[in-house]
Amino acid sequence: MKIFPAIDIKEGKCTQLIGGKFGTERFLIDPFRVAEKFQQGGAERIHIIDLDAAKGIGNNLEVIKEIIKKIRVETEIGGGIRSIERAYELINAGAEKIIVGTKALQDPEFLVDLARKVGKEKIIVALDFKNKKVAIKGWEEVTDLDPIETGKNLQNYCDAFLVTCIEKEGRMEGVDYEYLKNLENLLDTFNSFWRNWLFKRYRKIKRNWNLCCCY
């Protein structure tokens, strides 16, 4: 199992959303200092999400590019990647992986095209869910999509899935372990990234060596 520290960015600042709800955010120290601390702490990769871009109200692209430039560890970048051009821009800036959600879920052909052009090994698909249904557009719109069935349909076009229990986001309450384990067992894609993981759960999930936890 690998553990990747996470940075969510809103208005240029590190941000923590409670329960995935905009308006509950807590603004923390600047993302450059956080990224440097994670690097100093031995992180192999840093997970970075652009919350403004995810919601469609701007972006933190230049901040993210500067973080990639300043640190020496891998990054995976998500939030508002809804065009081939933006995907290329982040990969060319040095991102090891890109995370796509809304566009890939609404338009699977986009994901097929993206995989063909940048390589499926560069792609993580977000299957963030609320009440067992996939949520999109910065978690503000809950669809009728089932995460497991959706994952089965998309797994040939990505390297991994990012799975967030949105209700648990920012609460430090752990995850819906049984549901996530069921989802992992039913998907062939060998990497699943779980967010909102609590350290006291380590003994329970450390056996699952194909998991990467973002915290």
Residue numbers annotated as active site: 8, 128
Per-residue DSSP letters for 93-110? HT-SEEEE-HHHHH-HHH
Rounded to whole angstroms, how far apart are CA atoms 31 and 176? 28
Instruction: Annotate 40-58 with b (16+ C-beta within 10 A) or e (fewer).
Output: eeebebbbbbbbbbbbeee
Asked if 76 and 99 count as a contact pair (C-beta separation under 8 A), the reply is yes
Angle between helices 61-70 and 31-40 (to 10 degrees): 30
Instruction: Annotate 123-159 with b (16+ C-beta within 10 A) or e (fewer).
Output: bbbbbbbbeeebbbbbbeebbebebbebbeebbebbb
**What are phi and psi for residue 112, nearest 5 degrees?**
-60, -45
